[in-house]
Amino acid sequence: MVFGSPTHRLESQLESTARVLELDAHFFYLPSHLILCFNNPRKQTSETAFLRAVGSLDSAKLARVHAVNRDVLHDVISASEGSRLLKEITTSPPIHGLWTRVAIVGMCSFFAAPVAFDGSFIDMFASFILGSLMGLCQLTLAATNPLFLNCFEITMAVLVSFLSKGLSATGYFCYQACASAGIVMILPGFVILQGSLEIASRSVVAGSIRVVYGCVLSLFLGVGISIGSEIFVGMYPPSKNDTSAVSTTGTDSASSGTIACNRATGLPWWNAAIPPIYLLILVPGFAVALSMWTKEVVRSKQFCASIYVACSAYVVLYFSKQVIPDQAVVSSAIAAFAIGLLGTLWSRIARGTAFTTQSTAVLLLVPNGLAAAGGLALTSSSTSFEQGTTIALRQISVAIGIVMGLFAASLLTYSFSRRKRSTYFSY
């Protein structure tokens, strides 16, 4: 739970471990909470424990935890030796320091601007600054101040939208690209995806809580984006009717349509749309930044496999959007199906971990699928609540598509396998 284990498989994995350790135990998972009940038939007694753990995805330590669990289940090491190894993992220092993580968040926004939100070369540097500012606030103020943590997402959405609107008023920056890429790392798309996976796995209580939380958080972000933009318009009224060389246009459909940067012809190379050929460099760069954000060990085969799966998923998503336009759910499902197949293939061939290999690709797929569904920063014709509702619906539609693809891949690869379903360590 601390290192980001797939929550929809947590109960079944714990039950499998309890059977091997000959424990009569039952488990019930809620987001950030776990209820454990241990029965003693001989003494006819039971003991209940409540565990609370809040963490984030740490691919390197999560893979080590899974390896320890697998060795204990297969009698390679004893349970006491496994407990000692788990203590070593939990007490080991993090891979990256504070400023390195801030720079990684900025690099994620840097590459997300052109890859997912049609940003130009100059939009990339603006997104880097906005993303680094958001990451610094997240890792310092939000981590130490509970009061600021409660309003962190909406505060960042207002601030990033306000600054992005100010940059777009200069006529050189695209509001859509800067505002969306600046908050790309706090989008609740991954949270909604986890909730959808839990509901599909019949963990209805935990999944419903997570999906509702993700939807409300999407409303906060949508309202915050709208408020930030309107505050700047109130301070500088000429920015309401954007007549600059770069503006945001498009449709507001929750299921289809694209809102992109509309640029005048004859712009210099640093302000024009980036040619698609440069995606051959930008997409791997985005995947590397996301893998570093998940604390993957750079000099490892697992890191290279994660980059390969993420790039392959983007290629599938890119061409599926060309063949089936205006269908973000279908294109996301096809790309997620490729993620599931490649991740499982890697775990079988190289005996790696499928979940950590697939995580980078899923994180790459969420903002790109959201952009295919219409993006974040909508047109000014919508009210704040309408914008938030539309963004929530778009993230749910993308998450459902990804869930369909991942479960289809799991069904195909494990239907005729001798391995028990409870031992899966995959999406």
Given a cut of 70, whether residue 425 has pLDDT beyond it is: no
With cut-offs at 50, 70 and 90, classify the pLDDT of residue 418.
Answer: low
Average of per-residue pLDDT across 300-325:
90
Place of tokens 């000099």: 299
Tens of pLDDT along 57-73? 898 899 899 889 989 98
13-17, 66-70, 298-302, 394-398: segment of lowest average pLDDT: 394-398
Residue 416 CA, chain-centre distance (Å), reads 30
Q: In 3-state terms, what secondary structure has residue 35? A: strand
The residues, any chain, with a CB within 8 Å of residue 424's CB and separated by 6 or more, are 9, 354, 410, 414
Residue 250: the pLDDT is: 44
For the chain, percent of residues with pLDDT exceeding 70: 88
Residue 243: the pLDDT is: 44
Place of tokens 């991740």: 343
Q: Are 167 and 178 in contact (CB under 8 A)?
A: yes
Q: Are 374 and 390 in contact (CB under 8 A)?
A: yes
Structure tokens at 53: 């753990």
Q: Which residue has the higher pLDDT, 224 or 311?
A: 311
Ranges of H-type helices in 201-278 = 204-235
Identity of the amino acid at 105: V
Q: Which residue has the higher pLDDT, 238 or 45?
A: 45
Tens of pLDDT along 282-304? 999 999 999 999 998 888 888 99
Ranges of H-type helices in 350-383 = 354-373
Given a cut of 50, whether residue 420 has pLDDT beyond it is: no
In whole angstroms, give the CA distance from residue 365 to residue 362: 5
Closest CA to 375 of 166, 189, 107: 189
The phi and psi torsions of 32 (rounded to 5 degrees) equal 70, 5
Question: What separation in angstroms does the CA of 102 have from each of 134, 179, 188, 324?
Answer: 8, 18, 19, 37
Residue 21: the pLDDT is: 87
Residue 334: the pLDDT is: 93
Q: Are 116 and 127 in contact (CB under 8 A)?
A: no
For the chain, percent of residues with pLDDT exceeding 90: 32
Q: Cβ-count burial of 329 within 10 angstroms (0-12 exposed, 13-18 middle, 19+ buried)? A: buried
What does the DSSP 8-state code read for residue 260? E
Out of 116-120, 152-156, 215-219, 354-358, give the one with best mean pLDDT.
152-156
In whole angstroms, give the CA distance from residue 361 to residue 378: 26
Given a cut of 90, whether residue 135 has pLDDT beyond it is: yes
Identity of the amino acid at 393: L
Given a cut of 90, whether residue 38 has pLDDT beyond it is: yes
Residue 416: the pLDDT is: 56
Q: What is the pTM of this model?
A: 0.87
Q: Which residue has the higher pLDDT, 427 or 299?
A: 299
Q: Which residue has the higher pLDDT, 174 or 253?
A: 174
Instruction: Report DSSP letters for 41-80, one per residue.
Output: TTTTEEEEEEEE------HHHHHHHHHHHHHHHTTSS-HH
In whole angstroms, give the CA distance from residue 271 to residue 72: 56
| Residue ranges per structural domain of the chain | 7-91, 98-423
In whole angstroms, give the CA distance from residue 32 to residue 7: 10
Residue 376: the pLDDT is: 62
Average of per-residue pLDDT across 359-367:
88
Residues in the chain: 427
Q: Mean pLDDT for the chain?
A: 84
Is the Cα dihedral 51, 53, 58, 60 positive or negative? negative
Tens of pLDDT along 235-252? 988 777 654 455 554 443
Average of per-residue pLDDT across 94-109:
93
Residue 109 CA, chain-centre distance (Å), reads 13
In whole angstroms, give the CA distance from residue 417 to residue 400: 26
The residues, any chain, with a CB within 8 Å of residue 383's CB and separated by 6 or more, are 226
Given a cut of 80, whether residue 319 has pLDDT beyond it is: yes
Given a cut of 60, whether residue 336 has pLDDT beyond it is: yes
Average of per-residue pLDDT across 269-273:
84
Q: Which residue has the higher pLDDT, 56 or 104?
A: 104
